[in-house]
């Protein structure tokens, strides 16, 4: 069968399949992708430039998943706006935790996330931060969310049975347990810490 009346492939279809492979296997290859789509590897190149472009399309997919509409108008609470955006940002990552390591391979800062950056800038400016501080605050949140997302992809029993922990560390590990939402709790705690810090610095101005 040389060519069906309707194409068997599209960027859309390819990205879906690649994302599924990453979710289940932690990575993807062009031959593996082709097999999954019942196609020869060379066929993929009729729709995407190559492997790198597929990664970028997955990045865009995740970023587009972030909802910013409506959040954080002029109606006041900049702290709440930042918190909502941060959670939304991380939530979109958490849907495909194993994708994150692939995305950090190049750190190509596409402008896909600009909707969120704009919303954050508005919120921090409303909080009274100077322009230079606004960018730093956004960068801080960005670093924290990305780092937290990497934590999601880590194996569950990260710090299990560890003989080399001292007393405070051992107590901390015992208290945290291996709760399935340990990473979630840690994220909320960290976000709370950042917000407390921003509030303190906002008042200090």
Partner DNA sequence: ACCTGAACACCGTTCAAGT
Binding partner selected for residue 80 from DNA, a second copy, none, CB under the kind-specific 5 to 8 Å limit: none
Three-state secondary structure call for residue 3: coil
Q: Are 148 and 186 in contact (CB under 8 A)?
A: yes
Judged by CB under 8 A, the residue of 158, 178, 181, 205 near a second copy is 158
Tokens of 5: 């009346």
User: Looking only at residues 106 through 145 of this chain, which bind a second copy when binding is defined by CB under 8 A?
Assistant: 106-107, 109, 111, 114, 117-118, 121-122, 124-125, 130-140, 142-145
Q: In 3D, which of 36, 8, 35 has the Cα closest to residue 20?
A: 36
Distance separating alpha carbons of residues 172 and 185, to the nearest angstrom: 14
Choose between 10 and 118: whose C-beta lies nearer to a second copy. 118
Q: What are phi and psi of 163, to 5 degrees?
A: -70, -20
Q: Taking CB within 5 to 8 Å according to partner kind, which of a second copy, DNA, none is near residue 173?
A: a second copy
Token pair listed for 197 = 């810090």
Judged by beta carbon, residue 27 or residue 35, the one nearer a second copy is: 27
Yes or no: say if 119 and 72 are a contact pair by the CB < 8 Å rule. Answer: yes
Residues that bind a second copy (CB under 8 A): 100-101, 104-107, 109, 111, 114, 117-118, 121-122, 124-125, 130-140, 142-148, 150-151, 153-155, 158-159, 162, 164-166, 168-169, 171-176, 183, 185-186, 189-190, 192-201
């Amino acid at each position: 069968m040389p060519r069906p009346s309707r194409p068997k492939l599209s960027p859309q279809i390819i990205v879906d399949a690649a994302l599924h492979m990453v979710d289940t296997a932690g990575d993807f290859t062009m031959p593996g992708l082709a097999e999954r789509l019942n196609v020869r590897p060379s066929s993929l190149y009729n729709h995407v430039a190559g492997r790198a472009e597929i990664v970028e399309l997955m990045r865009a997919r995740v970023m587009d998943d972030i909802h910013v509409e409506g959040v954080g108008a002029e109606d006041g609470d900049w702290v709440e706006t930042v918190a909502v955006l941060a959670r939304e940002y991380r939530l979109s990552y958490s849907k495909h935790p194993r994708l994150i390591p692939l995305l950090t391979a190049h750190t190509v800062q596409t402008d896909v996330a600009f909707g969120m950056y704009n919303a954050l800038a508005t919120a921090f400016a409303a909080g009274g931060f100077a322009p230079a501080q606004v960018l730093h605050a956004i960068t801080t949140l960005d670093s924290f969310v990305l780092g937290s997302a990497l934590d999601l992809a880590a194996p569950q029993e990260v710090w299990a049975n560890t003989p080399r922990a001292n007393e405070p560390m051992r107590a901390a590990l015992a208290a945290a347990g291996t709760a399935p939402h340990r990473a979630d709790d840690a994220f909320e705690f960290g976000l709370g810490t950042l917000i407390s810090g921003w509030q303190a610095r906002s008042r200090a101005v």
